[in-house]
Amino acid sequence: MSSFNSSVGLVAVVACAIAAIALIGLIVVIVMLRRLRRDQRLVIGDSERDITAHAADLERQFVALHDHLIDIATRLDGRVAKAETRLDSAISHRSVVRYDAYNELSGHQSVSIALLDSHRSGIVISSIQHRDQARFYIRQIEGGKGTVELSPEEQQAVKAAISGEVLDVVESP
């Protein structure tokens, strides 16, 4: 009988070990299930709907968001195009040429200022100083050329503005 008792004892120990392993496995599964439910609540919320209904709802929201972003991008493209058109007519080329117009005054008191847009159109403003008087002229420029004949200093101011050259004082011819 002792072999029977030892067999029963051995079976009892093995059964307890299996029960302990099963209990540990059950605890692990319960913890994993709770984590899964917690994560599912974060995604779906506390509602009773299933994951496929939630996924379909998310897809509808993403499509609506995508359409909204496309609409915003289209409007921004239009605004950028308008801004670029307006910038083409802004002053983008300029220069100042100072000179002695009559060679009787020193200090280069006469000046021609060219203000042109990206199409090389704009104005040249000239102030010519003489001992007794000062004259002020504004001449229109279209495509880099004056609509009326320009003085050499005004031509120099336009040329310097177009080339981006920095001129300040030029000896009069």
Encoding tokens for residue 96?
């100042």
Q: What is the largest CA-CA distance in the chain?
A: 143
E-strand ranges in the chain read 93-99, 110-116, 122-129, 134-142, 145-146
**Cα Rg for the chain, rounded, in angstroms?**
44
> Are 98 and 147 members of one domain?
yes
Task: Work out the end-to-end distance of the chain between its first and last CA atoms, rounded to an integer number of angstroms.
Answer: 136
Does residue 171 lie within any of the structural domains? no
By the 8 A CB rule, do 110 and 137 touch? no
> Are 40 and 80 members of one domain?
no
Return d(Cα 110, Cα 130) in angstroms, integer: 8
> Are 135 and 152 members of one domain?
yes
Q: What is the pLDDT of residue 35?
A: 92
> Are 53 and 42 members of one domain?
no
Encoding tokens for residue 1?
């009988």
Q: What tens digit of pLDDT does each residue of 103-160 get?
A: 766 777 889 999 999 889 999 999 998 878 889 999 999 998 989 999 999 999 999 9
The domain in which residue 80 lies consists of 49-88
Q: Is the pLDDT of residue 1 over 80?
A: no
> Are 83 and 124 members of one domain?
no
> Are 108 and 62 members of one domain?
no
- What does pTM read for this prediction? 0.55
Does residue 172 lie within any of the structural domains? no
> Are 98 and 156 members of one domain?
yes
Q: What tens digit of pLDDT does each residue of 34-59 get?
A: 998 888 777 777 666 677 787 888 89
Last residue of a domain, one of 46, 61, 79: 46
Q: What tens digit of pLDDT does each residue of 71-104 get?
A: 999 999 999 999 888 888 888 889 999 988 877 6
Does residue 156 lie within any of the structural domains? yes
Does residue 169 lie within any of the structural domains? no
Does residue 168 lie within any of the structural domains? no
> Are 101 and 146 members of one domain?
yes
Does residue 173 lie within any of the structural domains? no
Q: Is the pLDDT of residue 169 over 60?
A: no
Distances (CA, A) of 46 to 36, 39, 42, 51, 54: 13, 11, 8, 12, 12
> Are 17 and 42 members of one domain?
yes
Does residue 100 lie within any of the structural domains? yes
For residue 160, count other CB atoms closer than 10 A to its CB. 21
> What is the tally of structural domains in the chain?
3
Does residue 83 lie within any of the structural domains? yes
Band the pLDDT of 172: cuts 50, 70, 90: very low
